C-alpha cells in the first residue's frame, strides 16, 4: 500500500476491479545520521544474535512467531496468502453509514480509487453514494493485517480511508471538571464566533518547512542560522479573563479587513 494496490471492491454481488493510489505526498526534508568528527554516514546493519553478530542479507531473513522462549515457527509469503479467503483479497463493503457518524480519530491513510475495469459499475456506486450522502464500511487483508476501510466520495472522486479498529484507539486521559464562570464562557464563545471562517486548506502553508529550507541554504553558504523572532502578540497572559478580552480586541480588526 505504500505505492499502489490492485484489487477489487465487492458491493453485494457487484465486482469492481480497482487500483488505489496514495492521496498524500509528504515533503519532509531528509537528514542523514553522521559521526560528529568525521561527518561519515552511520550505517545500520541487520545482524544475527547467535552468529557472532554476523551481518545478514535481506534474502536470508524470514518471519518467525515465537510460541515459546527461543522457539519459533516460520511463515513465508505463501503461508500468509494461503490463509486468506477470497473475501480477504477484496475490499468487501459490509454496510453503509452517514459519513458524519465516523469520528476522524479512526482515520489513518487516504487513497484515491480508480477503476481498472467495470467502469459502469464503478460510476453507479460512486453516484449512488454521492446522491445518498453515504460512506461504505469494508474490510480487507493488507499484507498480514486485516484492515477496516471507509469508502467515500469527495467532490465527485471516490476515496478510501484505512481506519483504526475500535480496540486500537486509546481512551482519553481523565480531565478534572472545573466550575466555569459565565462571563469567561461567553467571551470564549464570542472569540470562537469572531475567528470562525470557511476552511480553505490552500491558505495554510508549512512555514517551518520554508524556514528549514532557508536555514539549509545559509549553512551551505557558510552562514550562521538567524534565530527566529517571537511574535509579540503570542506573549502569554496569565489571567484568563484578560487573555480573552485582549484576544477579542486583536481579532476585530482582522475580521473587518476581510
- The structure's pTM equals 0.76
pLDDT in the model for residue 183:
92
Q: Return the closest-CA partner of residue 250 out of 181, 182, 194.
A: 194
pLDDT at 154 over 70: yes
pLDDT-derived band at 6 (thresholds 50, 70, 90) equals confident
Residue ranges and CATH numbers for the domains of the chain are 4-25+82-168 (2.40.290.10), 182-257 (no CATH)
44-48, 140-144, 235-239, range with the lowest pLDDT? 235-239
Q: What is the mean pLDDT of the chain?
A: 87
Within the chain, residue ranges assigned H as helices are 77-82, 119-132, 182-195, 207-220, 240-257
Query: Grid coordinates standing for 132?
Result: 445518498
pLDDT at 86 over 80: no
pLDDT at 232 over 50: yes
pLDDT tens readout for residues 9-57: 998 889 999 999 889 888 888 899 998 999 999 988 899 988 888 999 9
Q: Return the closest-CA partner of residue 162 out of 173, 175, 146.
A: 146
Residues 6+ apart with CB under 8 A from 186: none
Q: What's the average model confidence in pLDDT over 168-178?
A: 93
209-220 burial, b if ≥16 CB within 10 A, otherwise e? eeeeeebeeeee
Q: Return the closest-CA partner of residue 120 out of 217, 24, 16, 190.
A: 16
pLDDT at 198 over 50: yes
Amino acid at each position: 500500500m505504500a505505492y499502489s494496490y490492485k484489487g477489487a471492491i465487492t458491493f453485494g454481488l457487484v465486482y469492481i476491479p480497482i487500483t488505489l493510489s496514495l492521496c498524500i505526498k509528504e515533503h519532509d526534508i531528509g537528514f542523514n545520521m553522521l559521526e560528529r568528527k568525521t561527518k561519515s554516514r552511520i550505517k545500520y546493519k541487520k545482524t544475527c544474535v547467535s552468529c557472532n553478530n554476523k551481518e545478514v542479507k535481506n534474502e536470508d531473513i524470514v518471519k518467525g512467531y515465537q510460541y515459546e522462549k527461543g522457539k519459533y515457527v516460520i511463515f513465508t509469503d505463501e503461508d500468509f496468502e494461503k490463509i486468506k479467503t477470497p473475501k480477504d483479497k477484496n475490499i468487501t463493503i459490509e454496510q453503509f453509514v452517514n459519513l458524519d457518524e465516523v469520528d476522524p480519530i479512526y482515520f489513518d491513510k487516504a487513497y484515491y480509487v480508480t477503476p481498472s475495469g467495470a467502469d459502469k459499475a464503478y460510476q453507479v456506486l460512486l453516484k449512488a453514494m454521492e446522491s445518498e450522502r453515504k460512506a461504505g464500511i469494508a474490510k480487507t487483508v493488507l499484507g498480514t493485517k486485516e484492515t477496516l476501510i471507509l469508502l467515500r466520495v469527495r467532490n465527485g472522486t471516490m476515496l478510501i480511508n484505512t481506519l483504526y479498529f475500535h480496540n486500537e484507539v486509546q481512551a482519553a486521559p481523565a480531565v478534572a471538571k472545573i466550575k466555569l464562570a459565565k462571563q469567561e464562557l461567553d467571551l470564549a464563545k464570542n472569540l470562537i464566533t469572531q475567528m470562525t471562517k470557511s476552511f480553505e486548506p490552500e491558505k495554510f502553508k508549512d512555514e517551518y518547512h520554508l524556514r528549514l529550507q532557508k536555514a539549509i541554504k545559509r549553512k551551505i553558504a557558510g552562514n550562521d542560522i538567524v534565530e527566529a523572532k517571537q511574535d509579540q502578540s503570542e506573549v502569554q497572559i496569565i489571567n484568563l479573563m484578560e487573555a480573552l478580552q485582549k484576544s477579542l480586541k486583536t481579532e476585530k480588526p482582522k475580521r473587518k479587513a476581510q
